[in-house]
């Protein structure tokens, strides 16, 4: 029977990992994920594959004239990364151990689902061995649940589920501080976010991001600042991509 379950797992694209190497999902109610997690879900059988989706937005350019080489627009930014996983739950004992499928489904929801107290989704972190995500913390993904489906495969006569496949997609959801650490510190082709600190000035922040002071009035307009001289610590400012050929007369 163990061989049968193993074959089923292989057919589903799943594999049973060592106990200490199980994929884990930790949960917090705060996006900063400070302190110990509130709850943890451990995969009963590890996925043997996962899907990561990246999406880059590029500025539209006018159509090229006949014979002209097409132009690549400026990079406007990227969508949050998505990761899709399958969780296989088995309550038959065919693999040498079993779980209470209904209990594990409830546990999964308690960890990744809606947070009744905060009236919002839970903020998650996915760990799994040497999982590599091309991020500053390449061994973990800060995310929220995007969608999930449950496929019931086997039941007791009374309807109690014995085998279930949970297919779930998670979308990246980082704190501002972590998101800032992922972006190049000086690039006019990406949208940046800064939290004002004591002593910050708008021209200095503009120069740090764009490599030129000339955009400070444009940034002030985007953020509807009454005066660029009166920045408040803790204030959030957006620095969008600008045409690199913008006239320096904007400082006038």
Mean pLDDT for 166-180 is 82
Residue 163 is predicted with a pLDDT of 93
pTM: 0.61
Residue 162 is predicted with a pLDDT of 93
Degrees to nearest 5, angle at CA 177 with 172 and 179:
35
Question: Are residues 224 and 235 in contact, defined by beta-carbon separation less than 8 angstroms?
Answer: no
Q: Compute the distance between CA of residue 189 and CA of residue 77 in angstroms, rounded to an integer.
A: 8
Question: Are residues 144 and 98 in contact, defined by beta-carbon separation less than 8 angstroms?
Answer: no
Q: Compute the distance between CA of residue 140 and CA of residue 182 in angstroms, rounded to an integer.
A: 14
Position 63 pLDDT exceeds 50:
yes
Q: What is the DSSP string of 151-216?
A: EEEEE-TTS-EEEEEEEEEEEE---HHHHHHHS-SS-TTS-EEEE--TT--HHHHHHHHHSSGGGH
pLDDT in tens, 112-128: 998 777 678 899 999 88
Six-digit token pair at 34? 């400070």
């Amino acid at each position: 029977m163990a061989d049968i379950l193993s074959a089923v797992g292989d057919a589903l694209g799943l594999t049973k990992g060592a106990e200490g190497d199980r994929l884990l999902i930790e949960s917090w109610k705060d996006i900063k994920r400070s302190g110990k997690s509130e709850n943890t879900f451990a995969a009963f059988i590890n996925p043997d594959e996962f899907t990561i989706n990246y999406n880059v937005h590029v500025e539209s350019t006018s159509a090229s004239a006949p014979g002209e080489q097409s132009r690549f627009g400026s990079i406007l930014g990227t969508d949050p990364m998505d990761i899709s996983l399958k969780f296989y739950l088995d309550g038959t004992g065919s693999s040498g151990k079993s779980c209470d499928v209904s209990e594990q489904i409830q546990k999964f929801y308690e960890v990744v689902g809606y947070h009744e107290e905060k009236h919002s989704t839970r903020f998650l972190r996915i760990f799994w061995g040497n999982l590599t995500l091309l991020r500053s913390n390449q061994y973990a993904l800060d995310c929220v649940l995007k969608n999930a489906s449950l496929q019931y495969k086997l039941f007791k006569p009374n309807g109690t589920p014995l085998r279930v496949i949970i297919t779930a997609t998670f979308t990246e959801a980082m704190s501002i501080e972590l998101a800032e650490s992922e972006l190049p510190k000086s690039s006019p082709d990406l949208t940046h976010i800064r939290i004002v600190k004591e002593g910050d000035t708008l021209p200095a922040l503009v120069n740090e991001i764009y490599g030129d002071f000339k955009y400070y009035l444009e940034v002030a307009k985007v953020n509807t600042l009454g005066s660029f001289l009166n920045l408040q610590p803790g204030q959030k400012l957006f620095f969008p991509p600008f045409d690199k050929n913008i006239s320096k007369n904007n400082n006038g």
